[in-house]
Structure 1
Amino acid sequence: MQTTVESIRSLTDTASPIELSVVVPIFNEEESVGPLVERISAAMAGFSMSWELILVDDGSTDATLANARGYLGRDGLVLRIIELQRNFGQTAAMQAGIDAATGRLIATMDGDLQNDPKDIPAMVAELERRELDLLVGWRKDRQDGLLLRRIPSWCANSLIGRMTGVKLHDYGCSLKIYRASIIKQVKLMGEMHRFIPAWVAGVVPSSRIGEMVVTHHARAHGKSKYGISRTFRVILDLLSVMFFMRYKARPGHFFGSLGLGIGALAMLILFYLFVDKFIMGNDIGTRPMLMVGVVLLLSSVQLITTGILAEMIARTYYRDDASPNYIVRNIFDGDRRDA
């Protein structure tokens, strides 16, 4: 049984040419998935390019999958549904949809009806006009709670922009348009979907990343999957992003620089104590500075060796293909079902 990305590619290799793939991860959205498909179909009715809709069911425990399958085979709608084996998270579900996409361009959006699919045609035209590789939606007039969502989001966007150098107003908006050839060079892991512009900036200049004001609706059905706790996870994820952006291919430089700096401080302390002991004749056996110097020297050696090990791991990672971070249970393609 094919349960990884190969099961997706077996379909995409024989698919007819598509210009735009619309990827939507969904999880427990039984009330929203029907209106979602209807809105996307209506918004794309006059679209001049060929397009497909890819729904990725991220292990829903309600009737989301059954409701989505009701639209298979509908006239004028090229729909594929990818059912993941369990809930892997939004980032993994988005990666599965991107892997399955056959379009030259890829649009991603949330499945909770807060993003407006009517913005997609205009965003595609804007991306082509400005010759961008990524166009990010900006929810300028957000319909979320001020304290729990908008203020933490504003702080996170400002911090991310300062640390990554990619200046955007809204990193967290899932409504984005990509060139498939670019986004497929980026592997999404963990909960890193909110940092996609930073990851893309690792393969293209930041000047090829832009933003556009989009419509944002209040949530009509279900309950938000995010809370105030996400703010703290964003900070931890941001530190990881900064490390990978700067030291992904050379982690030894990060740990080695810290190790050499601490080692230099340790040597200064120990040299001072050497002079104080053997030239000045003072007793240093009970001085706290001696313990500090020894601990710093050992820490320096440990950091340098950690850097060497990290370099070895990085070289192994780049030599071998990383396994996907999701498992596919079924793929529904019209009347066809592949597992």
Structure 2
Amino acid sequence: MDISVAIPLLNEEESLPELTEWIERVMRENHYTYEIIFVDDGSTDHSWEVICALRDKNEHIKGIKFQRNYGKSAALYEAFRAAQGDVVITMDADLQDSPDEIPELYRMIIEEKYDLVSGWKKKRYDNTLTKNIPSKIYNAATRRMSGIKLHDMNCGLKSYNKKVVKSIEVYGEMHRYIPVLAKWAGFKKIGEKVVEHRKRKYGVSKFGWDRFINGFLDLLSITFVGKFSKRPMHFFGVWGIVFFLIGCLASLYLVLSKIFNADFSITNRPGFYIALAALIIGMQLFLSGFIAELISRNAPGRNAYLIEEKRGIN
């Protein structure tokens, strides 16, 4: 199979028929073998009924329905697991991504041998204050921390070599940083393509202000995990040593001061509490931080989701 199109969605019943027809037309015109995987992330409208109706008309359409809302990362994780195409293309269901971009995204993976190609919505129709400016800040921070030179890290329109989506694990809200996950997994050829951004035709945006805080925390998390998941003591050990040395030096100063000055009171000095706190923090970094990270990285239920129904997927 040439292409798997993975589409996570939440309450997009109005746009699904038009989006599906558009994708089908592009596939026919280019003679691709394909599948369309819709992942209904706990919609409260009639999105799943629309997907089932579309599936009855076209066996290339497949569907996954979550029992409740888990988020875009969970939807992409399940879509990636189900995908069978040599190239996997992700896009949003709101018609703001153009399926006409599919042939070039496919060509860049197959012919130019990119591992991942990310879309760049150079001209956007979003609210500048609430979306564009924060997006530019996050993209700049991510470029600096990850070393990946992409203008629009979180663009929903991307194409992947199948090996990439089968090698990475998207969880929490890490969908914003899939290129970073791919890089840490060893896929270095990451490209970018300017893509069309269309005005929303149906429904409402799912954008919320909580994305700003979550996005920053996820960036810190993925940077740490990418660099230190296989050698966490390189992080915890260094900072543990730093704090432990501070505590030891402060303690040594207090002890020497007491030796040379009998009237010197150790426990009444701020340095005593600084030394004590530094020693405790240093030990905690070695023990609790290291152990907690290992536990969280190996949690067996991190990607377990309740799927209510599937269509066309074994």
TM-score of the two chains, using structure 1 as the length reference: 0.87
1:60 paired with 2:43, answer yes
Which residue does the alignment assign to 1:327? 306
Shift of the 128–325 alpha-carbon distance from structure 1 to 2, 3 Å rule, reads same
Do the aligned residues in 1 keep the contact of 2:171 with 2:303 (CA within 8 Å)? no
1:224 paired with 2:205, answer yes
Rounded Cα–Cα distance in structure 2 between residues aligned with 1:286 and 1:86: 57
1:185 paired with 2:167, answer yes
Query: Which of residues 45, 69, 73 in structure 1 aligns to 2:28?
Result: 45
Letter in 1 for 2:21: E
Deviation track 1:143-184 (CA, whole Å, cap 9, x = no partner) reads: 111111111111110100101111100011111111111221
Do the aligned residues in 2 keep the contact of 1:85 with 1:328 (CA within 8 Å)? yes
Aligned residue runs from structure 1 range 155-166, under 5 A: 155-166=137-148
Rounded Cα–Cα distance in structure 1 between residues aligned with 2:216 and 2:85: 33
Rounded Cα–Cα distance in structure 1 between residues aligned with 2:286 and 2:186: 31
CA drift at 1:232: 2.0
Query: Which of residues 69, 80, 90 in structure 2 aligns to 1:98?
Result: 80
1:23 paired with 2:6, answer yes
Runs ≥4 residues deviating over 3 A: 310-314, 320-323
CA drift at 1:308: 4.5
Shift of the 53–285 alpha-carbon distance from structure 1 to 2, 3 Å rule, reads closer
Which residue does the alignment assign to 2:181? 199
Aligned residue runs from structure 1 range 214-253, under 5 A: 214-253=195-234
Rounded Cα–Cα distance in structure 2 between residues aligned with 1:28 and 1:234: 23
Do the aligned residues in 1 keep the contact of 2:87 with 2:109 (CA within 8 Å)? no
Q: 1:56 is paired with a residue of what secondary structure?
A: strand
Letter in 1 for 2:38: L
Rounded Cα–Cα distance in structure 1 between residues aligned with 2:307 and 2:267: 64
Deviation track 1:69-107 (CA, whole Å, cap 9, x = no partner) reads: 2212325x6111111121111110111111111111111
CA drift at 1:305: 1.3
Aligned residue runs from structure 1 range 1-339, under 5 A: 18-74=1-57, 78-206=60-188, 208-281=189-262, 282-310=264-292, 313=295, 317=298, 324-333=303-312
Unaligned runs of 5+ in 2: none
Do the aligned residues in 2 keep the contact of 1:26 with 1:57 (CA within 8 Å)? yes
Q: 1:69 is paired with a residue of what secondary structure?
A: helix
CA drift at 1:236: 1.1
Q: 1:71 is paired with a residue of what secondary structure?
A: helix
CA drift at 1:285: 2.9
CA drift at 1:310: 4.3
CA drift at 1:326: 2.0
TM-score of the two chains, using structure 2 as the length reference: 0.94
Shift of the 307–323 alpha-carbon distance from structure 1 to 2, 3 Å rule, reads closer
CA drift at 1:250: 2.1
Do the aligned residues in 2 keep the contact of 1:22 with 1:54 (CA within 8 Å)? yes
Unaligned runs of 5+ in 1: 1-17
Rounded Cα–Cα distance in structure 1 between residues aligned with 2:80 and 2:199: 26
Greater alpha carbon shift after TM alignment, 222-231 vs 235-244:
222-231
Rounded Cα–Cα distance in structure 1 between residues aligned with 2:304 and 2:124: 31
